Chains A and B, each alone.
Chain A
Amino acid sequence: MAVIKIEHLSKSFGRNQVLKDVNFQVEKGEVVCLIGSSGSGKSTLLRCINLLETPSGGQIIYKGEDILDEKHNIQEYRTHLGMVFQQFNLFNNHNVISNCTVGQIKVLKRSKKEAEETALKYLKIVGMDQYVNAKPRQLSGGQKQRVAIARALSMNPDVMLFDEPTSALDPEMVGEVLKVMRQLANEGNTMLIVTHEMEFAKEVADRVVFMDKGVIVEEGPPAQVLVNPQHERTKEFLKRTLK
């Protein structure tokens, strides 16, 4: 059963239409990679899914309910989605552990003790449990991103959304973040990843979605889309990125 189903989604910024009639869905336990050149609408699609951008039209169906419905509680819906940003966006006034607990305590109303245990569990998974008291500004980019992943996981979301999680990192740190993501994928988490790391996509994705100019051009298993693309635009894009 699909966790998230998107139907006829469109998004315009003024007169600029960035998403045109996008239809797609994410199954439970599936790892989907969104690829495509800059400005193709991948990030906007991801941001529309957790309503950081308000879609101009269409439906987003989560567990059978249309969350664009006026009555739907957006805050409650968002707790089921974990978001990891390109720029990490850690809370600068909180230390590592409190970055991971503040949402649990204030939004999920967990006790401080429970929240800290959960946070520590995920900080251990991302290998940041030794830095619980560090402030974000004391960490490197890769470390920040791993904390950001732990923060999202601490909310026990149904789907993890990654918006180009390694694009702001230098090559050495990309590895450490991808390692964590690979592990999460192997553990059966549902993940939707916007990425430029083709090798990574090939390796972990169950399905690759190629977007261009606001529409989904091609989708399928990585062996098909990345190795034997059917579409002219996909071929062209891959020629440019894979060298």
Chain B
Amino acid sequence: MSLEWILSIIENNWQMFLRGAYYTLLISSISTIIGAFIGFFIGIMHTIPVRKKGVKFYSLKLINFMLTCYVEFFRGTPMIVQAMVVYYGLDIAFGIDMHFITAGILVVSLNTGAYMAEIVRGGIVSIDNGQYEAASAIGMNHFQIMLHVVLPQVARNVLPATGNQLIMNIKDTAVLNVIGVTELFFQTKSISGNNFRYFESFFVACVLYFIMTFTASRILLYVEKRLDGPDAYQKEQKEAV
């Protein structure tokens, strides 16, 4: 009997489910990308070496202090609360009237960025100092070393953690229903509110969430494998270049 209900719910509401899933995917993927950029920016700022104490030293310290405040705040408060604060708070306090989807992307991005910051910093620290020294020894400056040697490796190494963030974001965008974002959870709530079949409706949502997260994790694994290339190497037989 449940199965029949499930089928009829899908038949009658598939468009709503799909639209919900679309917004869930849209917000979570865009936010993961923006968040990764924020994370990289903060990770880079936190690892700039400045030896001499001077204007540069203190301004960097100040910027890093503010960035740390941001990280701690967004890691230390629930996203559902942040969503309310950003969406309603900014409107009331500053008269900034954001579209709820913009607000959703903003909140999830800032949240992801806060987590990614520490992941990226860890990734930068984990690149052995020898490569940094070797690059210094051929005359590269800090910026060149970061761009051409360190960060490409960090990007590869933080990919699994970024995938984790994407999966978390796909699930956690559900909390954005409190500011009226019509993502999958919001849509399912509307559907079940109409037919009063809570179990069956949310079961469909559950399956949809799982399909999205599982697909995302498989795609990321594939990308990782592609980036790593084959393990063995064949000698060049002909003259190269």
Contact A135 B144 (CB under 8 A): no
> What residues of A have a CB within 8 angstroms of the CB of B141 in the complex?
75
Q: How far is the CA of A89 from the CA of B136 in the complex (A)?
A: 11
Q: How far is the CB of B233 from chain A (nearest CB, A)?
A: 4
Any B CB within 8 A of the CB of A24: no
Q: Which of B129-168 contact A (CB under 8 A)?
A: 130-131, 133-141, 144, 148-149, 152-153, 156
> What residues of A have a CB within 8 angstroms of the CB of B1 in the complex?
none
Contact B235 A103 (CB under 8 A): no
Contact A107 B138 (CB under 8 A): yes
Q: How far is the CA of A82 from the CA of B137 in the complex (A)?
A: 7
| Number of residues of chain A lying within 8 A (CB) of chain B | 41
Any B CB within 8 A of the CB of A192: no
Contact A116 B233 (CB under 8 A): no
Which residue from chain B places its CB closest to the CB of A120 in the assembled complex? Answer: B241
Of A87, A91, A107, A148, the contact of B139 (CB 8 Å cutoff): A107
Which residue from chain B places its CB closest to the CB of A78 in the assembled complex? Answer: B139
Contact B137 A52 (CB under 8 A): yes
Which residue from chain A places its CB closest to the CB of B152 in the assembled complex? Answer: A93
Of A85, A116, A131, the contact of B134 (CB 8 Å cutoff): A85
Contact A138 B137 (CB under 8 A): no
Point out which of B135, B137, B229 has the most chain A C-beta atoms below 10 A from its C-beta: B137
Point out which of B128, B133, B134, B140 has the most chain A C-beta atoms below 10 A from its C-beta: B134
Any A CB within 8 A of the CB of B236: yes
Contact A107 B133 (CB under 8 A): no
Q: Which of B82-116 contact A (CB under 8 A)?
A: none
Contact B149 A89 (CB under 8 A): no
Q: How far is the CB of B68 from chain A (nearest CB, A)?
A: 28
Q: How far is the CB of B181 from chain A (nearest CB, A)?
A: 38
> What residues of A have a CB within 8 angstroms of the CB of B131 in the complex?
89-92
Any B CB within 8 A of the CB of A59: no
Can you pick out 19 interface pairs between chain A and chain B where the beta carbons lie within 8 Å of each other? A52-B136, A75-B141, A82-B138, A85-B137, A88-B130, A89-B134, A91-B134, A94-B149, A97-B240, A103-B139, A103-B140, A106-B140, A106-B148, A120-B240, A120-B241, A129-B240, A130-B235, A131-B235, A134-B233
User: Closest 9 CB pairs between A and B?
Assistant: A103-B138, A89-B134, A89-B130, A83-B137, A79-B139, A138-B233, A93-B152, A134-B233, A107-B139
